[in-house]
């Protein structure tokens, strides 16, 4: 089992990196407050992937969690939906989804979060957006592999944390932090 770090339960011990998400061609609501140890694990895993496995987009450079893509709303409109911190937990293995010939197979760490699922559903139903069809499956991308490729199968330790801010990024990558309101 690969060790990510101990579970983080209290805010003073949360060491996070604010990493900007990749430039999108439309606005995006995302989380970039990822614990430093988790970001390090994702980057180190990506560095260890042989070039023969990597697809066109390669290793993820901008570690983030997408909440809703193509969102057409202002930070002030979104803020009212945030009344408590978002609790997040990683699963215990690297997972995959096949994303077509161009993007290939995405290697990722899936997240379990009722808070994030609820937020996504509320925002998706309230505002115009370009979220793909199908269910929302929050995750942290490690890398884009060639179609059908997989990394060695191994378990990883789960990681839990909370976030109290999100980022609204527009198509020009201009960012606005949104703090979760206290009610």
Q: Dihedral angle at the C-alpha atoms of 80, 85, 86, 90, nearest 10 degrees?
A: 170
Query: Average per-residue pLDDT in the chain?
Result: 83
Residues pairing with 69 in the sheet: 28
Give the per-residue pLDDT at 132.
Answer: 73
Residues 40-63 have a mean pLDDT of 94
Domains in the chain (CATH in brackets) are 19-179 (3.90.1140.10)
pLDDT at residue 4, as a whole number = 43
Whether pLDDT at 75 is above 80: yes
pLDDT of 173:
77
Average pLDDT over residues 18-27: 47
Return the higher-pLDDT residue of 74 and 162.
Answer: 162
Burial degree of 102 (CB within 10 A; 0-12, 13-18, 19+): exposed
- Alpha-helical regions (H) of the chain: 36-47, 75-79, 100-103, 114-126
122-131 residue pLDDT tens: 999 999 888 7
Q: Output phi, psi for 155, to 5 deg.
A: -80, 150
pTM greater than 0.85 (yes/no): no
The distance between the two most distant Cα atoms of the chain, rounded to a whole number of Å, is: 50
Q: Supply the pLDDT for residue 17.
A: 31
Distance CA 155, CA 149 (A): 18
pLDDT tens readout for residues 25-36: 667 899 999 999
């Amino acid at each position: 089992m690969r060790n990510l770090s101990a579970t983080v339960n209290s805010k003073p011990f949360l060491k996070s990196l604010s990493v900007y998400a990749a430039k999108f061609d439309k606005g995006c609501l995302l989380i970039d407050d990822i614990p430093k140890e988790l970001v390090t694990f994702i980057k180190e895993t990506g560095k260890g992937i042989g070039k023969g496995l990597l697809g066109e987009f390669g290793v993820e450079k901008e570690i983030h969690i997408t909440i809703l893509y193509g969102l057409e709303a202002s930070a002030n409109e979104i803020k009212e939906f945030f009344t408590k911190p978002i609790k997040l937990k990683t699963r215990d293995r690297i997972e995959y989804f096949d994303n077509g010939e161009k993007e290939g197979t995405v290697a990722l760490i899936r997240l379990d979060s009722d808070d994030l699922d609820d937020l996504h559903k509320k925002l998706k139903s309230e505002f115009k957006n370009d979220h793909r069809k199908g269910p929302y499956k929050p995750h942290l991308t490690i890398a884009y592999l060639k179609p059908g490729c997989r990394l060695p199968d191994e378990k990883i330790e789960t990681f839990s944390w909370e976030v109290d801010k999100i980022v609204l990024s527009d198509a020009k990558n201009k960012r606005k932090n949104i703090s979760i309101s206290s009610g």
